Amino acid sequence: MTSPILVFDLDGTLVDTADDLVATLNVVLEEAGLGGVTGAQTRAMVGHGARVLIERALAAKGAERAPDEVDALLARYIKHYGANIAVASRPFPGVEAALDRFSARGFALAVCTNKLEHLSLRLLDALGLSPRFAAICGADTFAVRKPDPLMLTETIRRAGGDAARAVMIGDSATDIDTARAAGIPVVAVDFGYTPVPVTELSPDVVISHYDALDDAVAKVLA
């Protein structure tokens, strides 16, 4: 028996992780002798996983590196971030109450993120959110990641959700492209991390607070 399901992106959607991401990124960049990036720069570079974040930061510094050097920076990034995963990171306002409401209505809940799976679990554990999700899938959970629609459909399957009654909630073009490719409606939050305002990316509905999620889901599943 499958359930209706909400599938959430993590960084910039469920949890405001930017300050911890930028702190780790700057440790790595400074150790490489490159100086740091700003929070605003980092927010515009998140969404395709840690390796792309590092590559984009290097490009912003005009300091592209060979793949094996990026590998070393990535290893350092993962180690530092894993040890400092929830220093400043907190759920966005209204997240827990919204998850409670949808659980009570029989929705399955899942996470589909381009953050590595073990880091996603560690973050959600640290915030006490893990037990709410039937599946927590990260960049390395499947052979593909967002924007490949298979990542979303496999997350739904793993969580026991019904793809015909599924909604993706995300903050970036990556999430909107993924949902569109999977034929699943998408609600965008406008408080996340994206270089382009989500209103310009044509999601089905845009919300500015989790209090508005119920109406948004009712609209897209109608």
Q: Shortest Cβ distance from residue 110 to ligand PGA (Å)?
A: 13
Of the two residues 11 and 16, which places its CB atom closer to Mg ion in the complex? 11
Number of residues that this document lists for the chain: 222
Q: Is 20 in the site for ligand PGA (CB under 6 A)?
A: no
Q: Max CA-CA distance within the chain? A: 55
Residues 86-125 that bind ligand PGA (CB under 6 A): 113-115
* Residue 168 binding target from Mg ion, ligand PGA, none, CB below 5 to 8 Å by type: none
- The only residue of 5, 6, 10, 137 in contact with ligand PGA, by rule CB under 6 A: 10
The pair of three-digit structure tokens given for residue 65, joined into one six-digit string? 């590196």
* Residue 114 binding target from ligand PGA, Mg ion, none, CB below 5 to 8 Å by type: ligand PGA
Q: How far apart (Å, rounded) are the C-alpha atoms in residues 80 and 23?
A: 9
Residues 29-48 that bind ligand PGA (CB under 6 A): 46-48
Q: How far apart (Å, rounded) are the C-alpha atoms in residues 192 and 102?
A: 21
CB 58 within 8 A of CB 36: no
Minimal CA–CA distance to 18: which of 75, 74, 89? 89
Span from 11-19, 27-35, 57-65, 128-136 in contact with Mg ion (CB under 5 A): 11-19
| The one catalytic residue among 9, 16, 20, 175 | 9
The pair of three-digit structure tokens given for residue 13, joined into one six-digit string? 């959607």
Known catalytic membership, residue 9 = yes
Minimal CA–CA distance to 165: which of 88, 217, 205? 217
Q: Is 203 in the site for ligand PGA (CB under 6 A)?
A: no
The pair of three-digit structure tokens given for residue 80, joined into one six-digit string? 């530092």
Minimal CA–CA distance to 4: which of 114, 165, 142, 205? 165
CA-to-CA separations, 193 to 47, 150, 154, 171, 174, in angstroms, rounded:
8, 23, 24, 6, 11
* Residue 113 binding target from ligand PGA, Mg ion, none, CB below 5 to 8 Å by type: ligand PGA
- The only residue of 5, 6, 7, 11 in contact with ligand PGA, by rule CB under 6 A: 11
* Residue 43 binding target from Mg ion, ligand PGA, none, CB below 5 to 8 Å by type: none
Q: Is 141 in the site for ligand PGA (CB under 6 A)?
A: no
Minimal CA–CA distance to 111: which of 221, 185, 6, 193? 6
Q: Is 189 in the site for ligand PGA (CB under 6 A)?
A: no
Q: Which residues are catalytic?
A: 9
Site residues, ligand PGA (CB under 6 A): 9-12, 46-50, 53, 113-115
Site residues, Mg ion (CB under 5 A): 9, 11-12, 171-172
